[in-house]
Structure 1
Amino acid sequence: MSNLKSALIQLQCELVAERNLVNPNELSWLQYDILNLLRQKGPSSPSLLAEQLHIRPSKFSKAIKTLKEKGYVIQTVNQQDGRGLLTSLSSAGRTFLDSVDAGHTYLYETADAVLSTEEKTLFTQCANKLIRAFEEERMRKHVPNN
């Protein structure tokens, strides 16, 4: 196995472990991603959110049910068309994300402490380049998950 492949696998494992520490069995990754997307993009229709997450609407409906039960999201009638729903992040959802963000601060603090200024710049550039490549590949494939 190449050093790059090994490093990427190990980094992914470490990031998953960190994510599990700040969100211990609270929500699924998909549910967290829905909340984070709502925080970034603002209120949106369920179909558009499902499309942005590359999942089927039925999978989105199942994921959103728990978020509504926990009070993390609110769904209201879309005032523009009067028919569809508009999904929004609630104040409880924002509070939950803020608590998760506090846990993520550890990742930043660790990177900040162990990387030189030049390494931080290079890591940021490389990470952003990989993120764009992964996003573009997903968009190119546009294969909904089951």
Structure 2
Amino acid sequence: MTNTDLYQTLMNLQCELVAERNLVNPEQITWLQYDILSILQEHASKPTALSKSLGITQAKLSKSFTQLRKLGYIKQTPDIHDHRVAVTEITSGGRTFMNDIAQKHHDLYTQAQKIWSKKEQEQFISAADKLITVLREERLNSEQ
């Protein structure tokens, strides 16, 4: 194995995972929008709580809401206690979208289980976790 083999394999894996994501995400929602929908699957939320939970500004959240509303994935209604504040919740269309993504994740998992032995799965998990940890730490350190 050469350095070129590792480089090429990492690039091919990244391309394949992006292609898989594009199959289930034809509207091209962002990771942030996905995170918003993920939180809203658990419970409706006010914008201030969502922006705090996601660590983003309300302006950035509002921009994501616009696209998610256009797609019909969220709806906003006035809070019953304070009509100046909107409560955001996921719609049935948003739930369907998230369920489709979850199914695609499961399909990928099933494929990996079929082609890799238990030992290969353990090796992949160990190697991927090492790389994920380094990438995440570098990204977090660069944001500070």
TM-score of the pair, normalised by structure 2: 0.70
SS of 2:72's partner is coil
Q: Which residue of 1 aligns with 2:65?
A: 64
For structure 1, which runs of at least 5 residues remain unmatched after alignment? Answer: none
The answer to which structure, 1 or 2, has the higher relative contact order (CA under 8 A, 6+ apart) is: 1
Q: Which amino acid aligns with 1:106?
A: D
In structure 2, C-alpha distance between the alignment counterparts of 1:4 and 1:47, rounded to whole Å: 44
Q: Deviations over 1:17-53 (max 9, x none)?
A: 11111222x23233334323544x7555546655766
SS of 1:28's partner is coil
1:98 aligns with 2:75: no
1:128 aligns with 2:133: no
TM-score of the pair, normalised by structure 1: 0.69
1:1-146 alignment runs, 5 A limit: 2-24=4-26, 26-30=27-31, 31-39=33-41, 42-44=43-45, 46=47, 49=50, 57-75=58-76, 86-142=87-143
Q: Which amino acid aligns with 1:4?
A: L
CA separation of 1:119/1:23 partners in 2, compared to 1, >3 Å: closer, same or farther? same
8 Å CA contact retained: 1:54, 1:142: no
In structure 1, C-alpha distance between the alignment counterparts of 2:45 and 2:4, rounded to whole Å: 42
Q: Deviations over 1:66-88 (max 9, x none)?
A: 21233322345678998665544
Taking only the aligned residue pairs, the percentage that are identical comes to 41
In structure 2, C-alpha distance between the alignment counterparts of 1:115 and 1:133, rounded to whole Å: 24
8 Å CA contact retained: 1:72, 1:94: yes
CA separation of 1:37/1:119 partners in 2, compared to 1, >3 Å: closer, same or farther? farther
In structure 1, C-alpha distance between the alignment counterparts of 2:48 and 2:127, rounded to whole Å: 32
Deviation at 1:116, TM superposition (A): 0.7
SS of 2:129's partner is helix
In structure 2, C-alpha distance between the alignment counterparts of 1:121 and 1:9, rounded to whole Å: 22
Number of residue pairs aligned between Structure 1 and Structure 2: 141
8 Å CA contact retained: 2:40, 2:89: yes
Q: Which amino acid aligns with 2:14?
A: Q
CA separation of 1:82/1:22 partners in 2, compared to 1, >3 Å: closer, same or farther? same
Q: Which amino acid aligns with 1:15?
A: L
